[in-house]
């Protein structure tokens, strides 16, 4: 990095802001020697020609735009005040660091000097990282959807100086005719600015109408005053059955997202009803997802989604939340079927996360990019993950390639832009039978091939990794590792979950509140509903895996803070806290997206905390919320599958399993725990404690363990529901029958 950088004034701006330059100079001084500025406009010494206010941020997405010639500002009161003072519209651009089309629009439009000059002189441009500010993203994405019926990123929204949206879209090609579009971004900018100047009343009216539509979209339908019935679950499953792709799993058509078919709901429905077809839908989908190119068969982990119906050609970014949620799906499938294939996929995902997505201090990074540098120096989508056939042959050698080429679907035509995506269209056992080789022999060849391809791939420039650490997504991954630790009796996974929980409590919690994002040694942005809800769920899963009462205690404390900041007196929770920034609308999230809604997770937490603590208030708040969401659940249950799980739990309260160990003997609980691990029991809470001081100390947050004793001074299991217990047993086989 040059010791000093000479920046040019931004196009359309006469001079550099001295205050900004001083702040930039200080930030440059703080950068590591390996700092590589982003941007396409360079000085003769290779330093970037331009800098804007985003250079002072920590978000990787904002920093990607810090050397655009656009006068970007972060979201702030100062930015909107500038719009009012200068009587300009706001151009709001929202995206995230691993978004392919965000990169495309940056290169085509935001690095273009003519477009930048027009933006700088006629607009106040604001850039937002949707992962740091999901509240802003939700509001203005609703505007995009209201206008176009669809959404996506990059999101491009035109606002009045008071923040009201009056026009919106997603990706815009730069100029008329680009990519076959008649009207390009520059023309749209000019036409909208002309309308803003000449027809202010029309702009105000459009902003008012669209703002009203946004507020309506972000609140649930009116309550029906009836508690939703369990039959809503049956109706949702029937809907998914009608739309199911019976060849490739998931919902029919393309693109295919892993969240579009709710695996957890299908497995819970099967558990409750014995509906074998629901189980088959879940298992076929899990198998096809893991067999397709959406799964990284070389390095492990799932890409974001598939653009084709066979799950074969992915959009290549990898998101922490997708891998957390899918790992738990595969663990659940393993418990239901005891098929080791599902266990192996879950472990492969978690091994990838530990290897590539875990910080030295234990927190989990957010994502990796779809794009990566190719040999010609250009960033290309999927380059890191795809192969020329000769590259594979060179890495494997002739004999190994011959053994695995059919299994990895390398014998036919390329899959993506002349390159191959390793995928496994048939299970290994079937491939071995077709090849006339033993299954164990082919498995060894496949394992060796994966190692060699991974070593060869590591020689390529890796995709950019977004190293901000988000509380919500860490909560999801803590749940995944904690559940793996319990289901697989794997202390390593439990310890990884505990390390991540410790990271969040050290760096993203100040004793009063959680924060959303951590990067470069700083916690930023007060946490949102999903941060609290997902992290509390992770702590409850960690308690169930480790039986360390501290995790349950932290969950109780954080739920109290969630209630004080986010709960609505009418039932349910808002996305933002009472003391957070007041925006155009205050969302009460109820629909699931790529992740479950914050309300659905918060309601499941209430159910679990009621079972552990026996405090009726948790159950009363859950019922109140379900009544508040009854209208939306009745109207569109398929879009609220995670809340259907809370509804199921309310109508079928969880089993409370307490295993009490004698105080004076080093008995373990494994004789009972192994029986639980062998079964799919989504409707349970589990507590393990030792009689005596440990039991007494735990009972403040664990009343279900109070007054219970180890029968005949032996490990004893209690199976209860809402405080009513079956006879305590010291016999593991009798315990299994009680669980049934």
Non-local (6+) Cβ contacts of 720 within 8 A are 655, 656, 657, 658, 704, 726
Spatial CB neighbours of 601, under 8 Å, sequence gap ≥ 6: 530, 533, 534, 537, 642
Token digits of residue 62: 């904002």
Least confident interval from 140-154, 258-272, 331-345, 693-707: 693-707
Q: How many domains does the chain have?
A: 4
Could you tell me the pLDDT band of residue 417, with boundaries at 50, 70 and 90? very high
Domain residue limits at 172: 18-217
* Residues 200 and 333 placed together within one structural domain of the fold: no
Of 624, 651, 678, the last residue of a domain is: 651
Kindly state whether residue 101 falls inside one of the protein's structural domains.
yes
**Per-residue model confidence (pLDDT) at position 539:** 98
**Per-residue confidence (pLDDT) for residue 131, from 0 to 100:** 97
CATH of the domain at 705: 3.40.30
pLDDT, average across residues 591-601: 96
Whether 8 is covered by a domain: the verdict is no
**Tokens 């509380």 correspond to what residue?**
471
Exposed, middle or buried by CB within 10 Å (0-12, 13-18, 19+), for 395? Answer: buried
For residues 608 and 699, state if they share a domain. Answer: no
Is 9 within a domain? no
Specify the pLDDT at position 606. 98
Task: Answer whether residue 156 shows pLDDT above 90.
Answer: yes
Question: Could you tell me if 38 and 183 lie in one domain?
Answer: yes
SS3 715: coil
Alpha helix (H) ranges present in 309-438?
Answer: 320-337, 340-356, 389-396, 398-404, 428-435
The answer to whether 704 and 659 have CB atoms below 8 angstroms apart is: no
Work out the mean pLDDT of the chain and round it to a whole number: 94
**Residue 107 belongs to a domain:** yes
Note whether residue 436 is domain-resident: yes
Rounded to a whole number of angstroms, the CA Rg of the chain reads: 27
Q: What is the CATH number of the domain that holds 28?
A: 3.40.30.10
Region of residue 17 (phi > 0: left; psi between -120 and 50: alpha; otherwise: beta): beta
What Å distances lie between residue 365 and 4, 38, 395, 465, 502, CA to CA?
Answer: 31, 20, 29, 8, 15
Q: What is the mean pLDDT of residues 564-569?
A: 97
Strand order across the beta sheet in which 73-74 lies:
73-74, 124-129, 90-95, 155-159, 165-169
Quick: pLDDT tens for 47-74: 788 999 999 999 999 999 999 999 999 9
- Cα(619)–Cα(614) distance, integer angstroms: 9
Indicate if the pLDDT at residue 78 is higher than 80. Answer: yes
24 and 157 part of one domain: yes
**Cα-Cα end-to-end distance for the chain:** 65
**Dihedral sign of CA atoms 35, 47, 19, 56 in order:** negative
Both structure tokens of 107: 């290169």
Taking residues 524-538, report their average pLDDT.
Answer: 98
Q: Give the C-alpha separation, 514 to 511, whole Å.
A: 8
Query: Quick one: average pLDDT of 440-460?
Result: 95
389, 418 contact by CB (below 8 A): no
Assess contact for 500 and 478: CB atoms under 8 A: yes
* Residue labelled with tokens 């995944």: 480
Does residue 666 carry a pLDDT above 80? Answer: no
Mean pLDDT score, 8-31: 84
Question: Rounded distance, CA 227 to CA 408, Å?
Answer: 50
Bridge partners of 522, per DSSP, are 519
As a whole number, mean pLDDT of residues 614-633 equals: 97
CA–CA gap between residue 92 and residue 168 (Å, rounded)? 9
User: With bands split at pLDDT 50, 70 and 90, how would you rate the model's confidence at 2?
Assistant: very low
Q: DSSP assignment, residue 541?
A: H
- pLDDT band of residue 36 (cuts 50, 70, 90) is low
Domain final residue, candidates 194, 217, 240 = 217
What is the pLDDT at residue 1?
Answer: 42
- Other CB atoms within 10 A of residue 575 CB: 23
Would you place residue 693 in the very low, low, confident or very high pLDDT band (cuts 50, 70, 90)?
confident
What pLDDT score was predicted for residue 9? Answer: 92
What are the beta bridge partners of residue 659?
A: 688, 717
Residues in Cβ contact with 422 at an 8 Å cutoff, skipping those fewer than 6 apart: 293, 297, 298, 387, 408, 409, 410, 453
Are 491 and 618 contained in the same domain?
A: yes
What does the pLDDT average to over 704-733?
92
Contact 365, 466 (CB under 8 A): yes
Residue 649 and residue 643: Cα distance in Å, rounded? 10
**Token representation of residue 117:** 């000059």
Residue 581 lies inside a defined structural domain of this protein: yes
Question: What is the rounded average pLDDT of the residues 433-442?
Answer: 86
User: From CA 384, how far away is CA 283, in angstroms rounded?
Assistant: 30
Query: Within this chain, do residues 615 and 676 fall inside the same structural domain, yes or no?
Result: no
Q: Are residues 273 and 399 in the same domain?
A: no
| Percent of the chain residues past pLDDT 90, beyond the cut | 85
Cβ atoms of residues 56 and 23 within 8 Å: yes
Strands 73-74 and 124-129 turn out to be: parallel
What percentage of the chain exceeds 70 in pLDDT?
Answer: 98
Could you give the CA distance from residue 82 to residue 322 in angstroms, rounded to a whole number?
Answer: 39
Q: Tell me, yes or no, whether 499 and 352 share the same domain.
A: yes
Domain assignment present for residue 223? The answer is: no
Same domain for 300 and 209? Answer: no
Give the pLDDT band of residue 3 (cuts 50, 70, 90). low
Where residue 557 sits, what CATH number does that domain have?
1.50.10.10
Task: Kindly compute the dihedral angle of the four CA atoms of residues 598, 604, 607, 608, in this order, to the nearest 10 degrees.
Answer: -110
- Give how far Cα 714 sits from Cα of 335, 666, 705, Å: 28, 10, 16
Residues 582 and 672 in one domain: no
The model's pTM is 0.96
SS3 sequence, 95-124?
ECCCCHHHHHHHHHHHCCHHHHHHHHHHCE
Domain assignment present for residue 181? The answer is yes
Whether 45 shows a pLDDT value over 80: the answer reads no
Residues 272 and 362 occupy one common structural domain: yes
One domain, residues 251 and 287: yes
Helices (H), 413-470: 428-435, 439-457
* Number of Cα atoms under 13 Å in the Cβ half of residue 669: 26
Q: Which of 446, 462, 478 is the last residue of a domain?
A: 462
- C-alpha–C-alpha distance, residues 699 and 706, integer Å: 6
Looking at 23-27, 505-509, 557-561, which range is the least confident one? 23-27
Are 493 and 435 a contacting pair, CB within 8 Å?
no
């Amino acid at each position: 990095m040059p010791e000093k950088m000479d920046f040019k004034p931004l196009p359309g701006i006469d001079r550099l802001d001295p205050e900004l330059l001083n702040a930039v100079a200080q930030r440059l001084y703080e950068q590591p020697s390996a700092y590589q500025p982003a941007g396409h406009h360079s000085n003769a010494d290779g330093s970037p020609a331009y800098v804007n206010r985003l250079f002072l941020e920590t978000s990787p997405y904002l920093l990607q735009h810090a050397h655009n010639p656009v006068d970007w500002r972060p979201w702030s009161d100062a930015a909107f005040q500038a719009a009012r003072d200068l009587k300009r519209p706001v151009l709001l651009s929202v995206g995230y660091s691993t978004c392919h089309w965000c990169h495309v629009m940056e290169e085509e439009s935001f690095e273009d000097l003519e477009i930048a000059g027009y933006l700088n002189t006629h607009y106040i441009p604001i850039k937002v990282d949707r992962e740091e500010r999901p509240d802003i993203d939700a509001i203005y994405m609703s505007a995009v959807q209201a206008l176009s019926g669809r959404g996506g990123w990059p999101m491009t929204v035109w606002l009045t100086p008071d923040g009201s949206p009056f026009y919106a879209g997603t990706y815009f090609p730069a100029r008329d005719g680009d990519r076959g579009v008649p009207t390009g971004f520059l023309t749209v900018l000019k036409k909208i600015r002309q309308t803003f100047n000449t027809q202010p009343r029309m702009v105000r009216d459009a902003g008012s109408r669209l703002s009203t539509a946004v507020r309506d979209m972000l609140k649930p339908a009116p309550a029906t005053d009836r508690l939703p019935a369990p039959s809503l679950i049956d109706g949702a499953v029937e809907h998914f059955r009608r739309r199911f792709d019976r060849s490739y799993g998931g919902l029919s058509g393309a693109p295919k997202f892993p969240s579009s078919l709710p695996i957890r709901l299908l497995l819970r429905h099967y558990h409750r009803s014995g509906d074998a077809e629901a189980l088959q839908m879940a298992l076929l989908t899990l198998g096809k997802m893991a067999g397709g190119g959406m799964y990284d068969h070389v390095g492990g982990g799932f890409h974001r989604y598939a653009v084709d119906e066979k799950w074969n050609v992915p959009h290549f970014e990898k998101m922490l939340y997708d891998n957390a949620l899918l790992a738990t799906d595969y663990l659940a499938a393993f418990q239901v079927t005891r098929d080791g294939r599902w266990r192996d996929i879950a472990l492969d995902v978690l091994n990838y996360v530990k290897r590539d997505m875990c910080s030295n201090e234990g927190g989990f990074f957010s994502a990796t990019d779809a794009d990566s540098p190719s040999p010609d120096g250009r960033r290309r989508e999927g380059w890191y993950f795809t192969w020329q056939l000769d590259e594979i042959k060179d890495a494997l050698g002739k004999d190994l390639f011959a053994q695995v080429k059919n299994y990895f679907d390398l014998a036919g035509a390329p899959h993506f832009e002349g390159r191959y995506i390793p995928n496994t269209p048939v299970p290994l056992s079937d491939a071995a039978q077709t090849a006339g080789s033993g299954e164990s022999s082919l498995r060894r060849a496949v394992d060796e091939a994966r190692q060699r391809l991974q070593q060869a791939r590591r020689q390529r420039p890796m995709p950019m990794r977004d190293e901000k650490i988000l509380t919500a997504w860490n909560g999801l991954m803590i749940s995944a590792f904690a559940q793996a630790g319990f289901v697989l009796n794997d202390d390593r996974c439990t310890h990884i979950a505990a390390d991540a929980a410790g990271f969040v409590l050290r760096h993203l919690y100040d004793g009063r509140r959680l924060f959303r994002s951590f990067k470069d040694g700083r916690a930023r942005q007060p946490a949102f509903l999903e941060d609290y809800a997902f992290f509390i769920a992770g702590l409850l899963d960690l308690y169930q895996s480790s039986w360390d009462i501290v995790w349950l205690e932290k969950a109780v404390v954080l739920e109290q803070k969630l209630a004080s900041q986010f709960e609505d007196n009418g039932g349910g929770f808002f996305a933002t806290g009472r003391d957070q920034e007041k925006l155009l609308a205050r969302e009460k999230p109820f629909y699931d997206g790529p992740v479950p809604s914050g309300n659905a997770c918060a309601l499941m937490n209430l159910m679990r905390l009621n079972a552990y603590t026996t405090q009726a208030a948790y159950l009363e708040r859950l019922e109140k919320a379900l009544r508040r969401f009854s209208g939306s659940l009745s109207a569109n249950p398929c879009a609220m599958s995670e809340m259907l799980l809370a509804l199921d739990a309310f109508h079928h309260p969880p089993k409370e399993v307490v295993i009490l160990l004698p105080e004076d003997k080093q008995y373990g609980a494994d004789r009972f725990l192994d029986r639980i691990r062998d079964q799919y029991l989504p409707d349970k809470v589990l507590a393990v404690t030792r009689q005596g001081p440990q039991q007494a100390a735990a009972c403040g947050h664990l009343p279900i363990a109070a007054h219970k004793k180890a029968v005949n001074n032996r490990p004893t299991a209690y199976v209860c529901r809402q405080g009513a217990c079956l006879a305590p047993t010291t016999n593991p086989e009798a315990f299994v029958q009680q669980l049934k």
